Amino acid sequence: MSQKGRPILAAFQFLSRFPVKAELDYSPELLRRSAKYYPLVGAAIGLAVALAGGLAGWAIPSLPAAAAALIIWVWLTGGLHLDGWMDSADALLSYRSRERMLEIMKDSRVGAMGVLACVLLLLFKVTLISSLLDSGRFALAAAMLTAPVWSRWFMAWAMHRFPTARAGEGLAGRFRGLGTKDMAIATLLALLLTGAGLGIAGIANGLISGVISGSAPGGMGFWLPIGGYFAAAPLVTLAAGSLAASKISARLGGLTGDIYGALNEGLEALLLLVAVIFFC
């Protein structure tokens, strides 16, 4: 295994259940080097979910197809980010002191607020996926090849931009030192992946629509939503993610591993909502 390939394998092994068979030493250095490849993991997860939802949509109505896609989505991530979402909800919605909130996030048990937050998030996601399926499988593909990419890009950005809450301890502390060069690579990778994904989805949709209607695909009305979503996704991610991370960091004195996961989950849902606005 080459040294250059180890960070990519580490990113997939850490963030997903894809069968990556490699013995890796998760040192802080390897974790930092792997973070710039998080958008690539997001693209792989999004592609798998889009295929699952599209195939299910051929056989069953959109709502159960959306539920099936969401099940695949959660399974592929191992519930890692949902765990962070629930722990963060338990802590932040407790309105306790900073020290007590950090203790709550370290507790392996899930409280009432965490359960409620998880149920509401999954309900919101399944309705958004169902709406995208109702608008066509390529709408779902466009959303799924964008939302998981930029939400994971923001996790790397949060590691780079915001301090850690536990003064270098915990999982977040192992990512300290993520540099500007790494973020530049992550940003370029996210732009290339979403550009390629949206372009392929748009061309395929146009070709199939052209065959069905007997007209030539393309035109401003065809590419406008795709171009708009490509431009909106990173801007919405950076604006909404930075606002949320800033407020949380002010309360906790920094961010934690659970907060990274919670930000990912919240941004995924928000970007799906933006996709519904553009494509539905």
**From 106-115, 125-134, 177-186, 201-210, the region with the lowest mean pLDDT:** 201-210
CB of 193 closer than 8 Å to CB of 145: yes
On whether residue 32 sits in a domain, the answer given is no
Residue of 40, 38, 39, 72 whose CA lies nearest to 55 = 72
User: Residue 273's domain spans which residues?
Assistant: 41-279
On whether residue 1 sits in a domain, the answer given is no
Domain count, the chain: 1
Q: Is the pLDDT of residue 244 over 70?
A: yes
On whether residue 227 sits in a domain, the answer given is yes
Classified as helix, coil or strand, 255 is strand
On whether residue 14 sits in a domain, the answer given is no
Residues in the chain: 280
Mean model confidence pLDDT for the chain: 89
Residue 135 CA to its chain's centroid (Å) = 22
Q: Label residue 22 by pLDDT band (50, 70, 90).
A: confident
On whether residue 215 sits in a domain, the answer given is yes
Q: Mean pLDDT over residues 203-210, rounded?
A: 64
Q: Mean pLDDT over residues 37-54, rounded?
A: 96
What pLDDT shows up at residue 201? Answer: 79
- pLDDT tens digit sequence for 150-178: 999 999 999 999 998 876 666 666 777 77
What is the DSSP secondary structure assignment for residue 256, as one 8-state letter?
Answer: -
CB of 144 closer than 8 Å to CB of 38: no
Residue 83 CA to its chain's centroid (Å) = 14
What is the DSSP secondary structure assignment for residue 63, as one 8-state letter?
Answer: H
CB of 86 closer than 8 Å to CB of 118: yes
Q: Label residue 2 by pLDDT band (50, 70, 90).
A: low
On whether residue 225 sits in a domain, the answer given is yes
pTM as predicted: 0.92
Q: Mean pLDDT over residues 12-30, rounded?
A: 86
CB of 238 closer than 8 Å to CB of 148: no
What pLDDT shows up at residue 216? Answer: 44
Residue of 245, 109, 83 whose CA lies nearest to 165 = 245
Q: Rounded CA gap, 152 and 42, in Å? A: 6
What pLDDT shows up at residue 270? Answer: 98
Residue of 214, 216, 213 whose CA lies nearest to 203 = 216
Q: Is the pLDDT of residue 220 over 60?
A: no
- Write out the two tokens for 89: 């909800």
- Write out the two tokens for 45: 């997860």
What pLDDT shows up at residue 106? Answer: 86
- pLDDT tens digit sequence for 47-93: 999 999 999 999 999 999 999 999 999 999 999 999 999 999 999 99
Q: Please report, for residues 49, 155, 192, 216, the alpha-carbon distance to residue 220 in angstroms, rounded to integers and kept in the order given.
A: 28, 34, 22, 13
On whether residue 29 sits in a domain, the answer given is no
On whether residue 105 sits in a domain, the answer given is yes
CB of 159 closer than 8 Å to CB of 88: no
What pLDDT shows up at residue 29? Answer: 87
DSSP string, 190-241: HHHHHHHHHHHHHHHHHHHHHHHHTS---SHHHHHHHHHHHHHHHHHHHHHH
